[in-house]
Amino acid sequence: MRILTVDVGTGTQDVFLYDSALDLENGYRLVLPSPTMMVHRRLKAATARGEAVLLTGHLMGGGPSQWAARDHVRAGGVLYATPAAARTFNDDLDYVQREMGVRLVSDDEARGLDGRVVHLDLKDFDFPLLAGAFAAFGVDLRPDLAAVAVFDHGDAPPGYSDRQFRFDYLDNLVRTAAGRPNPLAAFAHPAEAVPASMTRLRAVTAAARAQGLEIPLLVMDTAPAAVLGATLDPAVAEHLAAGVLVANIGNFHCLAFRLEAGRITGLFEHHTGEVNQAKLDGFLTALADSTLRHQDIFDDQGHGALVYEPAALPAPRRLAVTGPRRSLLRGSRLRPYFAVPYGDMMLAGCFGLLAAAAEAYPEWAPLIRRSLSAGGGAAPWESD
Q: Which CATH number characterizes residue 267's domain?
A: 3.30.420.40
30 pLDDT more than 60: yes
Task: Quote the pLDDT of residue 291.
Answer: 97
Nearest in space to 53 (alpha carbons), one of 8, 103, 106, 4: 103
Range list of H helices, the chain: 35-49, 64-74, 83-86, 93-98, 107-113, 127-135, 162-176, 199-210, 222-230, 234-237, 277-289, 294-298, 348-360, 365-374
Contact predicate 229/348, CB 8 Å:
yes
Q: Give the per-residue pLDDT at 376.
A: 63
Please tell me the predicted confidence (pLDDT) of residue 380.
54
pLDDT confidence bin for 378, thresholds 50/70/90:
low
The answer to whether residues 141 and 214 belong to one domain is yes
The residue-averaged pLDDT of 135-139 equals 97
pLDDT at 2 over 90: yes
pLDDT for 226: 97
The CATH number of whichever domain residue 98 belongs to comes to 3.40.50.1100
pLDDT, tens digit, for every residue of 181-193? 889 999 999 999 9
Mean pLDDT of 360-371: 95
- Kindly state whether residue 274 falls inside one of the protein's structural domains: yes
Same domain, 106 and 244: no
Let me know if residue 136 belongs to a domain: yes
Is 313 in the same domain as 200?
no
Identify whether residues 88 and 205 lie together within a single domain. Answer: no
Helix segments in 231-340, DSSP class H:
234-237, 277-289, 294-298
pLDDT of 158: 86
Domain interval for residue 254: 234-339
Contact criterion met (CB below 8 Å) for 233 and 377 = yes
The domain tally of the chain equals 3
What average pLDDT does this structure show over 63-68? 96
241 and 302 in a common domain: yes
Q: What is the pTM of this model?
A: 0.94
pLDDT score at 178 = 81
- Mean pLDDT score of the chain, rounded to an integer? 94
Average pLDDT estimate for 226-239: 95
Structure confidence at residue 374 as a pLDDT band (50, 70, 90): confident
Residue 21's contacts (CB-CB under 8 Å, 6 or more residues apart) are none
160 and 24: one domain? yes
Q: What confidence score (pLDDT) does residue 375 get? A: 62
Residue 379 has pLDDT above 80, yes or no: no
Q: Is residue 86 scored above 90 in pLDDT?
A: yes
**Does a structural domain hold residue 172?**
yes
Residue 231 has pLDDT above 60, yes or no: yes
Mean pLDDT calculated for residue range 96-120: 95
The pLDDT of 348-377, averaged and rounded, is 91
**111 in the same domain as 45:** yes
Last residue of a domain, one of 158, 193, 224: 224
**CA 105 to chain centroid:** 30
Residue 109 lies in a domain: yes
Q: Is 81 part of a structural domain of the chain?
A: yes
User: DSSP string spanning 7-31?
Assistant: EE-SSEEEEEEEETTS-GGGSEEEE
Residues 23 and 39 in one domain: no
The pLDDT of residue 310 is 95
For residues 242 and 253, membership in a common domain is answered with yes
What confidence category does residue 180 fall into, taking pLDDT thresholds of 50, 70 and 90? confident
Reduced to 3 states (helix: H, G, I; strand: E, B; else coil), residue 191 is helix
Element holding 337 (H helix, E strand) = strand 337-338
86 falls within a domain = yes
- What pLDDT does residue 383 have? 40
